[in-house]
Amino acid sequence: DAGVIQSPRHEVTEMGQEVTLRCKPISGHNSLFWYRQTMMRGLELLIYFNNNVPIDDSGMPEDRFSAKMPNASFSTLKIQPSEPRDSAVYFCASSLLELGELFFGEGSRLTVL
Amino acid sequence: DAKTTQPTSMDCAEGRAANLPCNHSTISGNEYVYWYRQIHSQGPQYIIHGLKNNETNEMASLIITEDRKSSTLILPHATLRDTAVYYCIAFNSGGSNYKLTFGKGTLLTVNP
């Protein structure tokens, strides 16, 4: 299996622009997670889905952030409008059932100027 | 989920065993101990987990004390590629609040 695939790996954008991050989970996994990592705050869970349904989005920082999972093989995290403080590495992870063994992608490094 | 406490950093000589401690004195009976690591610029990687018995896999061994208030992750023969941040997490996989919460972890540096 190719593992969790994220794109883009790197994104540099200007403040106010829309950013869309994409994730393809491991085939057969039914839970998907979006994390954000910064030096100051470490790894934070933003949202997780189970069977394509958002279960907990309490970690989403504000209305500028939205996440969707239209099917079992694809999810997006969108930031609109983006701000410099959104600069971080965003990780997607998937797991089988609601277990603690998560498989992480390589991350998308976002820089907002 | 119970809070865990880990040293900020540790050093280990290449080829020697690395023993990473974790304190989880408030762990509840149905919470597992999970270990992950994150090599620089990569996503976190699952290592091992356990409930009360010691566990071993191809990557590491996990020793959990009888009272379950602490555990130790053992890398039997550390290599330079084991340099990473190691996270210890207490997690209830059967609970309704499915959040795997990462703390600051321990930065393990394996020296030649």
Buried b (16+ CB within 10 A) or exposed e, A62-77: eeebebebeebeebeb
What is the amino acid identity at position B76? P
Position A80 pLDDT exceeds 90: yes
Residue with the bigger pLDDT between A97 and B37: it is: B37
Question: What is the tens place of the pLDDT at every residue in A9-53?
Answer: 999 999 999 999 999 999 999 999 999 999 999 999 999 999 999
pLDDT of residue B61: 97
Q: Report chain A residues whose CB lies below 8 A from the CB of B97.
A: 56
What is the amino acid identity at position A26? I
Among B39, B100, B101, pick the best mutation site for testing chain A contact (most A Cβ within 10 A).
B100
Q: Nearest-CA distance from A101 to chain B in Å?
A: 6
Yes or no: say if A38 and A91 are a contact pair by the CB < 8 Å rule. no
Position B53 pLDDT exceeds 80: yes
pLDDT of residue A20: 98
pLDDT of residue B96: 59
- The answer to whether the Cβ–Cβ distance between B98 and A45 falls below 8 Å is no
Instruction: Place B29 in a pLDDT band, splitting at 50, 70 and 90.
Output: confident
Point out the residue among A50, A98, A104 whose CB comes nearest to the CB of B44: A104
Contacts of residue B61, Cβ cutoff 8 Å, sequence gap at least 6:
B48, B54, B55, B73, B74, B76
CB pairs under 8 A between A and B: 50
DSSP B14-64: TTS-EEEEEE-TT--TTPEEEEEEE-TTS--EEEEEESSS-EE-SS-EEEE
Position B100 pLDDT exceeds 90: no
Position B99 pLDDT exceeds 70: yes
Position B83 pLDDT exceeds 80: yes
pLDDT of residue B10: 97
Position A94 pLDDT exceeds 90: yes
Share of chain A above pLDDT 70, in %: 98
Q: Report chain B residues whose CB lies below 8 A from the CB of A26.
A: none
Among A49, A89, A101, pick the best mutation site for testing chain B contact (most B Cβ within 10 A).
A101
